Structure 1
Amino acid sequence: MSEDFKVKILLIEDEENVRESYVDMLGFLGYDVITADNGKTGLEVINRQPIDIVITDLNMPVMNGMEALRRIKKKNEEIQVIVITGFATIENAISAMKQGAFDYITKPVSLEHVKIVLNKCIQQIRSRRENEELKHLNAQLREINELKNKFITITNHELRTPLAVLKGYMDLLEMELEDHPSEDIQEYLGIISNTLTEMINMIEMMHDLSSFESLISKQNRTVFDINALADSLFKEIKILFDKRGVEFSFRGEQRPLFVNADQQLLKKAIRELTQNALKFTETGKKVELSVKFIPTKNQVYVVIKDQGIGIPHEKLDLIFEPFYEVQDVMHHFTSRTDFMGGGIGVGLSLVKEIIEASNGEIAVESKPDEGSIFTVILPLAEVSENVRVSSYTL
């Protein structure tokens, strides 16, 4: 018996010498045993303490094994009962199993037979306990997830409005004091303004986390042109790169490339990857978004290549873990686009979820100080006259 998994066994046998021989046998196998001399005293033991397995003879005075079995199962279905029977009463053993007994052992009782039956019984108990523990843990996870979503919703609602008002008045104050001669005042205003912007960005990221998870659970899959979607995204976000002074380019195929996925989610995932590349690429360097068809694999590659700071080799396996950030958390500040700006550490984790939910994969190559290449790999969808093709615009 495994040392890390203990069971309590109750042995019910009316003949003292036979009972002692069974106790010796079970002790040899490594089990601690409680004994009772009939079904009635056996039930009294069960009422006083938890029991996992009952091994009982069928033929006993006061209360026989069959009646004990019925009462044990009525009291606690989870207690496993093994009956001991002679060859002449094998029909009784089968009847006992129909009433809920786990198995039966025939007389004369052999050590090997007892060992086999108990091992099977304990494995069933172990599996049941593990399943119950998993159910309990899943229930806890669902509860935690609901609390998290409520917290995010409340935080988003309660903080977004006052922060937006503060930021608005802060911007007005900065304009009013734009020509103020005091450098200290200008510096203080800048610090306050940047701090408010960070807080607003953090709230928006938390809102995105909640909405991403909701969308993943309610996918709306359609067939659409990923080449056109990437081109549309490029045009939408190029201004962010221009503001940072990072060169941003797009290269696509000359033909439509259809995939079957939730286009809103996939667009969010690619946007996250491109903005992530922007955050970790210095001014004056390049980021490229490209879409490629790989005919030998019948796959579409969406590639985001940057000349950023890169990722250390030992951290490549960690970047898709929830709440993990590559940069030093002691120097964290929140931003979607500023160089080395941080988030809440869930972006790449959600990206991976979205891509896998789209029957795709994501791969990454990176070298410190040289840059990174993220590749989204998607199966090419078959398009026939019966398939509805969606517009790529969102």
Structure 2
Amino acid sequence: MAEKRTILYIEDDAHARNLVRKILQRDFDVLTAQNGLEGLDILKQRTPDLVLTDLNLPDLSGEVIAARIRAIVGEGLPIVAMTAHNEKQVRERALAAGCIGYITKPIDSRTLVATIHDFLGGRTEQLGEADQRRATKEMQATLTSQLEQTVRKLQEDNAELRNLERAKTAFLTQVSHELRTPLTVLSGYIQMLCQQLQADPTVNPRYVELANMAATGLQRLHTVMNEVVVMARLAANQVDAFMAPVLIGDVARQAIEEYRTALERRRLRLEMSGDCWEQVIMADAALLRLAFSNLISNAIKATPDGGAPIGFHIGKQADVLHVRVSDHGIGIQPEQLRLLFKPFYTNIDVNRGRTSKTDFMGMGLGIGLTVVARIVEAHNGRAWASLLIVAVALG
């Protein structure tokens, strides 16, 4: 039995798409796409014997699709336009764009299979030289108009996105101000309560533990709130980085000290290496410390209790300052590396992880490394990741 020839049908109307597939599937292997871009994606993976395409698609016109197909596979693939418009001008533009013919709608189910066989057998419809020139000129004018409309729509969408971004940043900033004062007051009272409970030997130890848990939770909430606001403001270029000469080693050591207790509790060791710890750079010390803190937290969460040492390296490559934080923990798949700095991405199973900046497999909002990347970019640097290392280069 001869192998069926393949037809790719591009049509946004589901009813028409299903109808044509049912009519053709006994004689042909039918691939379908619901828009032009999907059709082009299919074409790049598998070359059919013939393409049927509607001329009025929501994303790309039939003329554009025909031109793109010709650019991808050349002149050998027959393209047949399907249109409900029977005007001579529409048909001529389709032929000028590279179609070998057209089929008018509504579809005649009795003749469609035979018509497809005719086109596969070499049937073509051609324009006269004068008609070809005129149709090509009209098609170019149509494509230019479509391009102008697309550019205008993109400009409008970009303006709307910028307005939404400004509104989001303003909202987050306002929320942070509204929350910061009561959080600060509450944290102060909780700290006082913890101190008083710890100083009273008659207090039930469970109450001391609960008070400490409340203090830790408030601190975590405060940290998350700050990270969200910093990320939003950095994304909107609304953070004023207070650049001043700073000793990078001092900033790194301050960030490391934040996790001293957690490292001891988890039986982990952090090893410092490199020969540029005493390097003075122009930086915003507070932002840089936040970036280093997030890098360390990320490595701690990826390392099991008592696991291999975490590395913190400050050195130079080609006169560019590099900071590398490495771990030998849970690892990451190579295809996930490009996603690490995307907002809200995490490679930890949300069903297994728990909220923590220092526990093994601890969960966060998935913005820690995004904040790192934005801070580094504000310092004219870049951030990247390999299988074991997250690194930054500072300009």
**Which TM-score band applies after superposition, normalised by the shorter structure?**
0.5 to 0.7
Partner of 1:28: 91
Max Rg structure? 1
Contact 1:336 1:342 in 2 (8 A): yes
Q: TM-score, normalised by structure 2?
A: 0.57
Cα deviation 1:189-212 (Å, max 9, x = unaligned): 455444333322222222322443
Count of aligned positions: 277
Map 1:221-240; keep pairs closer than 5 Å: 229-240=247-258
Partner of 2:391: 375
- Choose which of 148, 151, 166 in structure 2 pairs with 1:131: 151
**SS of match in other structure, 1:110:** helix
Map 1:156-195; keep pairs closer than 5 Å: 156-178=176-198, 179=201, 182=204, 185-186=207-208, 188-195=210-217
1:133 is displaced (CA, Å) by 1.6
Partner of 2:294: 272
Map 1:275-294; keep pairs closer than 5 Å: 275-285=297-307, 286-294=309-317
Q: Distance in 2 between matches of 1:255 and 1:194?
A: 31
Contact 1:323 1:346 in 2 (8 A): yes
Structure 1 residue 249 and structure 2 residue 312: aligned? Answer: no
* Higher relative contact order (CA closer than 8 Å, sequence separation 6+): 1
Structure 1 residue 213 and structure 2 residue 235: aligned? Answer: yes
Q: Which amino acid aligns with 2:91?
A: F
Does the C-alpha gap of structure 1 residues 378 and 169 become closer, same or farther in structure 2, counting only changes over 3 Å? closer
Q: Which amino acid aligns with 1:25?
A: K
Q: Distance in 2 between matches of 1:2 and 1:261?
A: 56
**Which residues of structure 2 form unaligned runs of 5+?**
1-53, 63-85, 95-127
Map 1:13-24; keep pairs closer than 5 Å: 24=87
Structure 1 residue 3 and structure 2 residue 24: aligned? Answer: no
Does the C-alpha gap of structure 1 residues 237 and 180 become closer, same or farther in structure 2, counting only changes over 3 Å? same
Does the C-alpha gap of structure 1 residues 287 and 164 become closer, same or farther in structure 2, counting only changes over 3 Å? same
Q: Which amino acid aligns with 2:296?
A: T
Q: Distance in 2 between matches of 1:263 and 1:191?
A: 29
Contact 2:276 2:315 in 1 (8 A): no
Q: Distance in 1 between matches of 2:236 and 2:215?
A: 32
Q: Distance in 1 between matches of 2:187 and 2:241?
A: 35
Partner of 1:117: 137
Does the C-alpha gap of structure 1 residues 220 and 162 become closer, same or farther in structure 2, counting only changes over 3 Å? closer
Q: Distance in 2 between matches of 1:267 and 1:187?
A: 29
Q: Distance in 2 between matches of 1:263 and 1:175?
A: 31
Cα deviation 1:349-379 (Å, max 9, x = unaligned): 243345456565433222xxxxx31233467
1:264 is displaced (CA, Å) by 7.0
Partner of 1:311: 332
Q: Distance in 2 between matches of 1:166 and 1:221?
A: 32
Question: RMSD between aligned alpha carbons?
Answer: 3.9
1:112 is displaced (CA, Å) by 0.7
Does the C-alpha gap of structure 1 residues 238 and 355 become closer, same or farther in structure 2, counting only changes over 3 Å? closer
Partner of 2:125: none
Q: TM-score, normalised by structure 1?
A: 0.57
**SS of match in other structure, 2:311:** strand
Cα deviation 1:71-128 (Å, max 9, x = unaligned): xxxxxxxxxxxxxxxxxxxxxxxxxxxxxxxxxxxxx993212221122111211111
Identical aligned residues as a percent: 26
Does the C-alpha gap of structure 1 residues 307 and 276 become closer, same or farther in structure 2, counting only changes over 3 Å? same
Structure 1 residue 148 and structure 2 residue 168: aligned? Answer: yes
